[in-house]
């Protein structure tokens, strides 16, 4: 059985681009036969910002995934900080990881380049959580013998580094870790935002995932269009409205919409159609999300139950790893 591990960093508010690009396909993939799925809230990776925001985001992100259909009885769904074996493994891996490998990490190099370009000390404001991020991520992956790790292209290098670290450990101490492979979907649904650029919090052009119906409609009505009048044929290729609709719709619905574009659908009508399609899909999840946010104890129970399942794997494995590196009782 393939073990697939997905890390979810609890930062920021989710938007519909996150849903169609990552959450929806990940939940669907977890239901496949022959797959054992691990999903975790990477709260240690989020340390460094506002502490209250990290805690709040952990609740919000966990509630979001549960509301959208992640079944905690069929996957291992846990909070990273509830698995102390992960941070112990991080130190063990740090002890066998070359500094030169860490120096090549893209995020670290980008920070160095930015400081250098500004005439500052290369390491100014570079914290060790940035520098050591790939080792903690390696511990996340290797602890549960994940063979496949779905990631965006910006995280692919980190999985490759985890593989390098595992190979080095296996060489010194014998076959211990499974060598993971990064899984990047070739066609990731990247939605345009309100202004036509890629939907991104940094651009301030997002549609929040659980905006209520009134707010959702208001935002959809703001999506940028051209000046073509109703009745004039319209091109689907450069239409943000069409791209977003297609991400939610079935192939038949999309084909029917192409015909309406060719017939000159008006932008107001199209925006109303898009609003109704998004609202219909997300309304049940929105209601469940609001219920879970109001019941954090239920979310906590799911996470602790997931941690118990995860630790049934991590505790015996860390004992094996300790023995391999020489951390042993003096009398057995």
- Coil/strand/helix, residue 208: strand
Kind plus residue range of the DSSP H or E element containing 79: strand 76-79
**Model confidence pLDDT, tens digit, residues 122-132:** 999 999 999 99
Q: What is the longest distance spanned by two Cα atoms in the chain? A: 85
| pLDDT higher than 80, residue 276 | yes
pLDDT category at 188 given cuts 50, 70, 90 is low
Check if CATH label 1.10.240.10 holds for domain 210-291: yes
Interior CA angle at 31 toward 27 and 32, to 5°?
Answer: 120
At residue 189 the predicted structure's pLDDT band, cuts being 50, 70 and 90, is: low
Q: What is the pLDDT of residues 132-160, one digit of tens each?
A: 999 999 999 999 999 999 988 888 999 99
Q: So what's the pLDDT on residue 187? A: 57
Average pLDDT over residues 58-85: 97
Whether residue 206 has pLDDT greater than 80: yes
Number of Cβ atoms within 10 Å of the Cβ of 306 = 24
Q: Which CATH superfamily is domain 2-189+296-325 in?
A: HUPs (3.40.50.620)
**DSSP class per residue in 123-175:** TTT--HHHHTHHHHHHHHHHHTT-SEEE--GGGHHHHHHHHHHHHHHHHHH-S
Whole-number Å distance between alpha carbons of 294 and 136: 32
What confidence score (pLDDT) does residue 85 get? 98
Res 200 pLDDT > 80: yes
- pLDDT of 235 reads 95
Mean pLDDT of the chain: 95
- Domain positions in the chain are 2-189+296-325, 210-291
Mean pLDDT value of segment 94-101: 96
């Amino acid at each position: 059985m393939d073990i697939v591990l997905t890390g979810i960093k609890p930062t920021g508010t989710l938007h519909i681009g996150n849903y169609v690009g990552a959450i929806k396909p990940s939940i669907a993939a977890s239901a496949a036969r022959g797959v054992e799925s691990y999903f975790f809230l990477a709260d240690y990776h989020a340390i460094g910002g506002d502490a209250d925001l990290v805690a709040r985001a952990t609740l919000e992100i966990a509630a979001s995934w549960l509301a959208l259909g992640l079944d905690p009885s069929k996957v291992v769904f846990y909070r990273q900080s509830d698995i102390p074996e992960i941070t112990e493994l991080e130190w063990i891996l740090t002890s066998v990881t070359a500094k030169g490998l860490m120096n090549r990490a893209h995020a670290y190099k980008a920070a160095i380049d930015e400081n250098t370009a500004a005439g500052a000390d290369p390491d100014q404001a570079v914290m060790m959580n940035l520098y050591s991020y790939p080792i903690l991520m390696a511990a996340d992956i290797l602890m549960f013998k994940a063979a496949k790790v779905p990631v965006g292209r910006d995280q692919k290098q980190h999985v490759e580094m985890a593989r390098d670290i595992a190979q080095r450990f296996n060489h010194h101490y014998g076959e211990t870790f499974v060598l993971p492979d990064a899984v990047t979907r070739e066609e990731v649904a990247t939605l345009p935002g309100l202004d036509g650029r890629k939907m991104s919090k940094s651009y301030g052009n997002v549609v929040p995932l659980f905006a209520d119906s009134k707010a959702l409609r208001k935002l959809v009505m703001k999506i940028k269009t051209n000046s073509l009048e109703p009745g004039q044929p319209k091109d689907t290729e450069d239409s943000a409205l069409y791209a977003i609709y297609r991400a939610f719709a079935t192939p038949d619905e999309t084909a029917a919409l192409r015909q309406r574009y060719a017939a000159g659908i008006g932008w107001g009508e199209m925006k109303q159609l898009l609003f109704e399609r998004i609202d219909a899909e997300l309304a049940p999840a929105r209601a469940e999300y609001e219920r879970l946010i109001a019941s954090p104890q239920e979310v906590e129970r799911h996470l602790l139950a997931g941690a118990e399942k995860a630790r049934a794997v991590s505790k015996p494995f860390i004992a094996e790893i300790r023995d391999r590196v020489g951390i042993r009782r003096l009398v057995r």
